[in-house]
């Protein structure tokens, strides 16, 4: 039997339309909130309006008496069974953390915390009754401001005795990865350049499209839980360990999930409560949050103060970087809350060859919604800091920001490169990406236009921002996670099942929530096994189907999950070889596999993989001692992170009369290694860019003096729409990663990580002639206007950066260049 | 989010609607629902009865009424936007509707509903005020006409009695006037931080008449009368308009919020007024 099919074009690299989109965009799919079960009850949460208060009494009688209300439960009612929500990343041995009940028992620590749950036959009746639960609070002073909280002025959790949860340090001298940063700083102070800045990473809200929703059915032998989550395997594990249900009795399904951005990387109080209530009542229960609840009580992201000290020689060669972070945990430690700033610890040095580095982070409690993973998680904060600082260094030296970077970055021939933060960057080519980006951007022409506008005192000024970023993603080598005291590993699992008809089922432990795994993974398997793209079915997101997995976050699905898939597919081929040899009456050493066909070397004899699959299914004519199966699985633990990089260039027009900003041009050249599907990569880059640009310009979670979230709806929390974007120039260079078979690097977070500093650098670049050296994010028109006019007596609305420049600085570089203004504040203005 | 329970009625005539309104103890009128539904869903209001005007055909459409045009209260923004009578005789309305919210809202929301909601950041109040629109209000005892100046009373408060319904808005024709609505926002779908509606009649390069309304510079839409007076007789040049626009913030009381404090808004008002007037004058 011979197969003479024409060789199919490789699927990898093709712009395949996403398989999953038809069901998603035509509404044929079923989201968690669409699930209806017989006899299902609905939950509504009663939430604290106060940031910090003692609960003195909860009156539930009136609510219980409402029609079709089944019960109302308070924290006291479930105190025994609800356990404490998990923190999987105690970053230090002595990390302090308060107990974290799903329903507060006697004290609430942020506005939005759940104090009771109403269970009724319809969602409307549950909501109506929730309004009638009467809670008496005795208000306590809230700790709100991060810096004040770090000084323990007011305690977020009086029982802890301090707001400081943990202090974590990395020092290159101690680690043996570099020299002493203090010596570098002293040397720079004597005879070099020292730049000190303080930057604010404002609090952000993940704002995924599908609000979180959970359904629990306790009526079967197993507890079945559907949840709009990124992490069904985590949820299963924590239902077991927090609520005491045997893990084998829990099945968690993440059906199609509408976005997460880290916001659904959590074991939530609402998930725990729904399970507790369903088990108690023996009935299926559903809870779906409202958008208001989502914004108020779903975990937030970022929220840091960054004090940065960069030391350099007079010619702008970097000699040291010291980072002091205050990180706002909010009221509790969620799943990975405490570890988020630590993920940035290895990235503050960026792509530059710092000989000395020190990172210090203090995690601080406040009475606000807890923070946790949000797209980029720790790395956007780090990238922002270093890319802003390198731009400031260029300004001090008086050279182009790209030139200062080139003087200091790792050259392509220097890879693999061991960094001062202890990582080994495997590959990269910063020169190539930058060169291409400059060309696509029209860098020199835009610089010339900028000069013309400056000379003409054009009311609309032009600023050009640069961000040459790298990031570590593909979380993560388990050994590294272990060394950082993270509770879990970082491997991923995959199975490949050959069906009798030649179709292929692929099971992945990654859990897609918009990424397009079904399409990209089908492309990989189609190439690996030589089967049609359409014949591959990708299964995921159900712990009964994908029994092993560590889910999707940290740009890991392809670099880790994809590699597991490659290894599983390769095992299928290896298993098929002796079977093919037997059927073809050849020696297994003569069997060669190419494009779906097992051939006998030197002959035209061969069998297609589908034929082997059918023969294996029948198992009538089978080699002695060989198991009749081709199905294979693999668990892959990455040996290293992946390090995508790129050069992002942004041109912003600033209306100096209003402070209004308009993006003029944005070009990015990302090196994400081998691209499986350019369409999906473009989507990830576009979406990532917008999310990062939104941090620079629009989004901020703001609390008032009593701890109430002011930006509690999309009226005030400004998530951009397509109308606020421009056409981005998205391009690539390709330096394949050498740490995985396919040469891929992560792309899910790259755009978000890179774009924020590019935009702010552009804004500051436009304003530098006005003596402005920083604008706090989001760069609102008001902040920009006031920064421009700070020198002519307008209220700046913010304190200037402290100690921004050393005494050795040439004043001309930071002085106000506007006519008639004598600069007395060489630090420049800062908002 | 789920609103509290309410009774829903959808009369087909104005008389039935007025009847239902007078009988209900605590009723809200729903027009396009673009403001009311979020209020109900967030349970900021819980009326017993919601009276839907969507089936009353007579409240819909734009008509010519001699020296005025009449816009039915239930005319959707999208229809106002494309209406030739509005464009010809009240161009500043067209310009404002062009940038009002987003296409979805413009296809559901109504002209009268937006005005009766009286959000000081709403885009229609300032143009209506600048054009001296008249609000025709029906009650069980008959109809009355309220001048724009008197219609807007305070934040979300109009001269409408609880038992009255806004049926139509009469706008005196101003054919041949130039107009512009200058709206300042951070993201496209946002309520204006400040916006300025300007309509001017230019004769031989000189501003003969000017009307300027301000959005979100106080608890109601405001008229920038000092600017209007200063503009008359001035050439439509940057210098002259800049001088006149300097008094745009006179007598205003703008809010302070996440998008800017009152002082910043006062400054914006002067810049946006200059731009609106110059654009309206075609300069």
pLDDT tens digits, B66-104: 999 999 999 999 999 999 999 999 999 999 999 999 999
Condensed to tens digits (0 to 9), the pLDDT of residues A295-328 reads: 999 999 999 999 999 999 999 999 999 999 999 9
Among partner residues B2, B187, B263, which is closest to A127 by beta-carbon distance? B2
Chain A's closest residue to B258, CA to CA, is A716
Nearest-Cα distance to chain B for A69, in Å, is 15
Q: Are residues B158 and B183 in the same domain?
A: no
* Interface residues from chain B to A (CB-CB < 8 Å): 1-2, 4-5, 42-43, 102, 184, 186-191, 193, 257-261, 263-264, 267-268, 271-272
Q: Name which of A218, A212, A251, A274 is nearest A78 in CA terms.
A: A274
Among partner residues A127, A660, A711, which is closest to B184 by beta-carbon distance? A660
Rounded CA-CA distance A798/A199 in Å is 12
Domain harbouring B195, CATH code: 3.30.390.50
Quote the crossing angle between the two packed helices A781-788 and A750-767, to the nearest 10°.
30
User: Which is higher by pLDDT, B238 or A820?
Assistant: B238
Q: Can you tell me whether residue A407 is helix, strand or coil?
A: helix
Q: Are residues B150 and B197 in the same domain?
A: no
Q: Are residues B35 and B65 in the same domain?
A: no
Condensed to tens digits (0 to 9), the pLDDT of residues A707-765 reads: 999 999 999 999 999 999 999 999 999 999 999 999 999 999 999 999 999 999 999 99
Dihedral sign, CA of A744, A747, A748, A754?
positive
Chain B residues within 8 A of A724 when measuring between CB atoms: 187-188
Whether residue B186 and residue A123 make contact (CB cut-off 8 A), yes or no, is no
CA angle A587, A593, A596 (to 5 degrees): 130
Nearest-Cα distance to chain A for B176, in Å, is 30
Whether residue B260 and residue A715 make contact (CB cut-off 8 A), yes or no, is no
Q: Are residues B201 and B272 in the same domain?
A: yes
Say yes or no to pLDDT of A416 above 80.
yes
The two tokens of residue B144 are 């009355």
Q: Is residue B201 part of a domain?
A: yes
Whether residue A657 and residue B271 make contact (CB cut-off 8 A), yes or no, is yes
Rounded CA-CA distance A594/A684 in Å is 32
pLDDT attached to residue A212: 98
Say yes or no to pLDDT of A468 above 80.
yes
A692 band by pLDDT with thresholds 50, 70 and 90: very high
Q: Can you tell me whether residue A620 is helix, strand or coil?
A: coil
Condensed to tens digits (0 to 9), the pLDDT of residues A574-605 reads: 999 999 999 999 999 999 999 999 999 999 99
Percent of chain A residues topping a pLDDT of 70: 94
Nearest-Cα distance to chain A for B47, in Å, is 14
A704 band by pLDDT with thresholds 50, 70 and 90: very high
In this prediction the ipTM stands at 0.96
Q: What is the mean pLDDT of residues A631-637?
A: 98
Condensed to tens digits (0 to 9), the pLDDT of residues A121-153 reads: 999 999 999 999 999 999 999 999 999 999 999
At A824, phi and psi to the nearest 5? -110, -15
Condensed to tens digits (0 to 9), the pLDDT of residues B145-203 reads: 999 999 999 999 999 999 999 999 999 999 999 999 999 999 999 999 999 999 999 99
Q: Name which of A719, A693, A750, A749 is nearest A373 in CA terms.
A: A749
Q: A574 vs A591, A630, B188, CA distance in Å?
A: 10, 9, 57
Domains plus CATH for chain A?
380-473+641-830 (3.30.365.10), 481-619 (3.30.365.10)
In the DSSP assignment, the letter for residue A715 is T
* Interface residues from chain A to B (CB-CB < 8 Å): 123-124, 127-128, 131, 290-292, 657-658, 660, 697-698, 700, 702, 710-711, 713, 715-716, 718-721, 723-724, 780-782, 785-786, 795, 797
Condensed to tens digits (0 to 9), the pLDDT of residues A230-254 reads: 999 999 999 999 999 999 999 999 9
Q: Is residue B123 part of a domain?
A: yes
Q: What is the mean pLDDT of residues A159-186?
A: 98
Which one of B41, B194, B264 makes the best mutation probe of the A interface by having the most chain A beta carbons within 10 Å?
Answer: B264
Nearest-Cα distance to chain B for A660, in Å, is 8
Chain B residues within 8 A of A657 when measuring between CB atoms: 271
Q: Are strands A285-288 and A41-47 parallel, antiparallel or unpaired?
A: parallel
Q: Is residue B153 part of a domain?
A: yes
B1 band by pLDDT with thresholds 50, 70 and 90: confident
Say yes or no to pLDDT of A830 above 80.
no
Q: Are residues B183 and B258 in the same domain?
A: yes
Q: In sequence order, what E strands does A267-410 have?
A: 285-288, 301-312, 318-330, 357-365
Mean pLDDT of chain A: 94
Q: Are residues B64 and B167 in the same domain?
A: yes
Q: Is residue B2 part of a domain?
A: no
pLDDT attached to residue A465: 98
Tally A–B CB contacts below 8 A: 63
Please name the residues in contact with A756: beta carbons below 8 A apart, sequence gap of 6 or more. Answer: A380, A383, A384, A467, A692, A693, A695, A696, A777
Say yes or no to pLDDT of A794 above 60.
no
Q: Is residue B1 part of a domain?
A: no
Which one of B185, B186, B272 makes the best mutation probe of the A interface by having the most chain A beta carbons within 10 Å?
Answer: B186
A6 band by pLDDT with thresholds 50, 70 and 90: low
Among partner residues A292, A658, A721, which is closest to B268 by beta-carbon distance? A658
CA angle B153, B155, B161 (to 5 degrees): 50
Say yes or no to pLDDT of A827 above 70.
no
Rounded CA-CA distance A279/A285 in Å is 9
A792 band by pLDDT with thresholds 50, 70 and 90: low
Q: Are residues B78 and B168 in the same domain?
A: yes
Say yes or no to pLDDT of A819 above 50.
no
Query: Mind giving me the DSSP string for A88-106?
Result: ----STT-------SS-SS
Chain B residues within 8 A of A720 when measuring between CB atoms: 187
Among partner residues A290, A291, A782, which is closest to B264 by beta-carbon distance? A782
Whether residue A658 and residue B271 make contact (CB cut-off 8 A), yes or no, is yes
Q: Are strands A250-253 and A223-227 parallel, antiparallel or unpaired?
A: parallel
Say yes or no to pLDDT of A683 above 70.
yes
Domain count, chain B: 3
pLDDT attached to residue A94: 97
Say yes or no to pLDDT of A829 above 70.
no
Condensed to tens digits (0 to 9), the pLDDT of residues B19-69 reads: 999 999 899 999 999 999 999 999 999 999 999 999 999 999 999 999 999
CA angle A646, A649, A653 (to 5 degrees): 160
Chain A residues within 8 A of B189 when measuring between CB atoms: 721, 723
Q: Are residues B93 and B107 in the same domain?
A: yes
A817 band by pLDDT with thresholds 50, 70 and 90: very low
Whether residue A782 and residue B188 make contact (CB cut-off 8 A), yes or no, is no
Residues A686-697: b if buried by 16+ CB within 10 A, e if exposed:
bbbbbbbbbbbb
Whether residue B188 and residue A128 make contact (CB cut-off 8 A), yes or no, is no
User: Which is higher by pLDDT, A798 or A348?
Assistant: A348
Chain A's closest residue to B41, CA to CA, is A290
pLDDT attached to residue A7: 58
Chain A residues within 8 A of B258 when measuring between CB atoms: 700, 702, 710-711, 716
Q: Are residues B203 and B156 in the same domain?
A: no
Whether residue B259 and residue A780 make contact (CB cut-off 8 A), yes or no, is yes
* CA count, 13 A, side-chain hemisphere, B35: 19
Whether residue B258 and residue A711 make contact (CB cut-off 8 A), yes or no, is yes
Chain B's closest residue to A290, CA to CA, is B1
Residues A707-732: b if buried by 16+ CB within 10 A, e if exposed:
bbbebbebebbbbbeeebbeebebbb
Say yes or no to pLDDT of A329 above 60.
yes
Domain harbouring B137, CATH code: 3.30.465.10
Nearest-Cα distance to chain A for B228, in Å, is 22
Q: Are residues B228 and B160 in the same domain?
A: no
Whether residue A698 and residue B186 make contact (CB cut-off 8 A), yes or no, is yes
Rounded CA-CA distance A337/A90 in Å is 9
Q: What is the helix (H) or strand (E) element at residue A58, kind and residue range? A: strand A53-59
Q: Are residues B167 and B183 in the same domain?
A: no
Pick the last residue of a domain from B138, B157, B172.
B172
Nearest-Cα distance to chain A for B185, in Å, is 9
Q: Are residues B184 and B141 in the same domain?
A: no
Domain residue limits at B64? 60-172
Pick the last residue of a domain from B148, B172, B196.
B172
Pick the last residue of a domain from B128, B153, B172.
B172
Q: Is residue B194 part of a domain?
A: yes
Chain A's closest residue to B267, CA to CA, is A658
Q: Are strands A597-600 and A424-425 parallel, antiparallel or unpaired?
A: unpaired
Whether residue B258 and residue A795 make contact (CB cut-off 8 A), yes or no, is no
Q: Is residue B73 part of a domain?
A: yes
């Amino acid at each position: 039997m011979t197969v003479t099919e024409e060789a199919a074009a490789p699927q990898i690299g093709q712009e395949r339309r996403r398989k999953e989109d038809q069901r998603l965009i035509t509404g044929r799919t079923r989201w968690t909130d669409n699930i209806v079960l017989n006899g299902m009850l609905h939950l509504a949460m009663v939430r604290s309006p106060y940031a910090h208060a003692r609960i003195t009494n909860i009156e539930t009688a009136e609510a219980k008496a409402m029609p079709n209300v089944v019960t109302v439960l308070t924290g006291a009612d479930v105190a025994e069974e609800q356990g404490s929500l998990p923190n999987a990343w105690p970053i230090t041995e002595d990390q302090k953390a308060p107990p974290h009940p799903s329903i507060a028992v006697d004290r609430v620590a942020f506005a939005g915390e759940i104090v009771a749950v109403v269970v009724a036959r319809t969602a409307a009746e549950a909501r109506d009754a929730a309004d009638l639960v009467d809670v008496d609070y005795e208000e306590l002073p809230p700790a709100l401001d991060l810096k004040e909280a770090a000084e323990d002025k007011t305690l977020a959790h009086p029982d802890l005795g301090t707001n400081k949860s943990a202090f974590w340090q990395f020092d290159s001298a101690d680690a043996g990865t570099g020299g002493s940063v203090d010596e570098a700083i002293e040397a720079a102070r004597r005879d070099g350049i020292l730049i000190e800045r303080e930057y604010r990473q404002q609090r952000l809200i993940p704002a995924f499209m599908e609000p979180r929703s959970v359904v629990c059915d306790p009526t079967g032998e197993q507890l079945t839980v559907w949840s709009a989550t990124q992490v069904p395997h985590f949820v299963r594990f924590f239902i077991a360990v927090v609520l005491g249900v045997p893990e084998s009795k829990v099945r968690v399904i993440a059906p199609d999930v509408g976005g997460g951005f880290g916001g659904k990387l959590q074991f939530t109080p609402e998930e725990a409560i729904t399970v507790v209530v369903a088990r108690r009542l023996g009935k299926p229960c559903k809870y779906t949050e409202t958008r208001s609840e989502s914004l108020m009580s779903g975990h937030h992201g970022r929220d840091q103060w960054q004090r940065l000290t960069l030391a350099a020689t007079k010619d702008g060669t970097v000699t040291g970087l010291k980072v002091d972070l205050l990180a706002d945990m909010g009221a509790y430690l969620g799943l990975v809350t405490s570890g988020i700033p630590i993920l940035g610890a290895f990235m503050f040095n960026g792509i530059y060859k710092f000989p000395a580095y020190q990172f210090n982070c203090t995690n601080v409690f406040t009475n606000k919604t807890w923070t946790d993973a949000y797209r980029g998680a720790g790395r956007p904060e780090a990238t922002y800091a270093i890319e802003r600082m390198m731009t400031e260094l260029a300004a001090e030296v008086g050279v182009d920001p790209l030139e200062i970077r080139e003087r200091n970055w790792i050259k392509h021939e220097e890879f693999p490169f061991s960094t001062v933060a202890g990582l080994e960057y495997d590959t990269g080519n910063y020169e190539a990406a930058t060169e291409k980006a400059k060309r696509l951007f029209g860098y020199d022409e835009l610089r010339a236009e900028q000069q013309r506008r400056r000379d003409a005192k054009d009311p609309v000024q032009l600023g050009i921002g640069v961000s040459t970023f790298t990031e570590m993603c593909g979380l993560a080598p388990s050994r590294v996670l272990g060394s950082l005291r993270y509770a879990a590993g970082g491997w991923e699992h995959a199975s490949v099942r050959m069906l009798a008809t030649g179709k292929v089922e692929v099971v992945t432990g990654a859990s897609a929530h918009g990424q397009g795994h079904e399409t990209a993974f089908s492309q990989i398997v189609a190439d690996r096994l030589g089967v049609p793209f359409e014949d591959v079915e990708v299964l995921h997101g159900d712990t009964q189907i994908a029994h092993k997995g560590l889910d999707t976050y940290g740009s890991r699905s392809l670099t880790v999950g994809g590699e597991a898939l490659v290894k599983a597919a390769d095992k299928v081929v290896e298993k098929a070889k002796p079977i093919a040899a037997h059927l073809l009456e050849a020696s297994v050493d003569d069997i060669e596999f190419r494009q779906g066909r097992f051939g006998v070397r030197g002959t035209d004899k061969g069998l297609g993989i589908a034929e082997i699959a059918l023969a294996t299914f029948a198992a009538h004519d089978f080699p002695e001692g060989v198991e009749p199966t081709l199905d294979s699985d693999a668990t892959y633990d990455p040996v290293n992170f992946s390090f995508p990089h790129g050069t992002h260039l942004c041109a912003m027009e600033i209306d100096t009369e209003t402070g209004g900003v308009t993006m003029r041009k944005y070009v990015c050249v990302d090196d994400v290694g081998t691209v499986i599907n350019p369409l999906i990569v473009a989507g990830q880059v576009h979406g990532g860019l917008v999310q990062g640009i939104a941090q620079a310009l629009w989004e901020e979670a703001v609390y008032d003096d009593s701890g109430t979230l002011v930006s509690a709806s999309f009226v005030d929390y400004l998530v951009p729409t397509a109308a606020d974007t421009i056409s981005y120039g998205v391009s690539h260079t390709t330096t394949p990663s050498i740490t995985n078979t396919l040469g891929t690097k992560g792309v899910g977070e790259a755009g978000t990580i890179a774009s924020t500093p590019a935009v702010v650098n552009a804004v500051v670049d436009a304003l530098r002639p006005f003596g402005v050296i920083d604008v706090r994010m989001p760069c609102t028109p008001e902040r920009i206007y006031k920064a421009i006019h700070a020198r002519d007596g307008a209220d700046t609305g913010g304190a200037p950066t402290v100690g921004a420049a050393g005494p050795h600085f040439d004043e001309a570089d930071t002085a106000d260049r506007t006519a008639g203004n004598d600069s007395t504040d060489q630090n420049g203005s800062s908002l | 989010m789920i609103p509290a329970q309410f009774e829903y009625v959808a009369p087909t005539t104005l008389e039935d609607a007025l009847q239902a309104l007078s009988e209900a103890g605590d009723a809200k009128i729903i027009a396009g629902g673009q403001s009311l539904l979020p209020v109900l869903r967030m349970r900021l209001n819980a009326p017993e009865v919601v009276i839907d005007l969507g089936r009353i055909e007579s409240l819909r459409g734009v008509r010519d009424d001699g020296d005025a045009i009449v816009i039915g209260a239930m005319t959707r923004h999208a229809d106002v936007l494309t209406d030739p009578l509005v464009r010809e005789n009240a161009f500043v309305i067209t310009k404002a509707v062009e940038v009002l919210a987003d296409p979805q809202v413009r296809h559901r929301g109504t002209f009268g509903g937006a005005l009766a909601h009286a959000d000081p950041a709403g885009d229609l109040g300032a143009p209506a005020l600048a054009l001296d629109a008249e609000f025709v209000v029906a009650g069980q005892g008959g109809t009355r006409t309220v001048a724009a100046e008197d219609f807007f009373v305070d934040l979300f408060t109009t001269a409408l009695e609880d038992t009255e319904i806004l049926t139509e808005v009469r706008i005196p024709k101003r054919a041949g006037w130039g107009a512009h609505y200058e709206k300042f926002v951070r993201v496209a779908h946002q309520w204006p931080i400040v916006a300025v509606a300007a309509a001017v009649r230019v004769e031989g390069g000189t501003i003969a008449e000017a009307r300027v309304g301000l959005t979100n510079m106080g608890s109601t839409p405001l008229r920038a009368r000092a600017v209007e007076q200063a503009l008359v007789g001035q050439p439509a040049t940057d210098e002259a308009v800049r001088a006149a626009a300097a008094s745009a913030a006179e007598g205003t009381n703008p809010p302070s919020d996440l998008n800017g404090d009152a002082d910043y808004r006062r400054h914006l008002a002067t810049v946006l007024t200059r731009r609106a007037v110059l654009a309206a004058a075609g300069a």
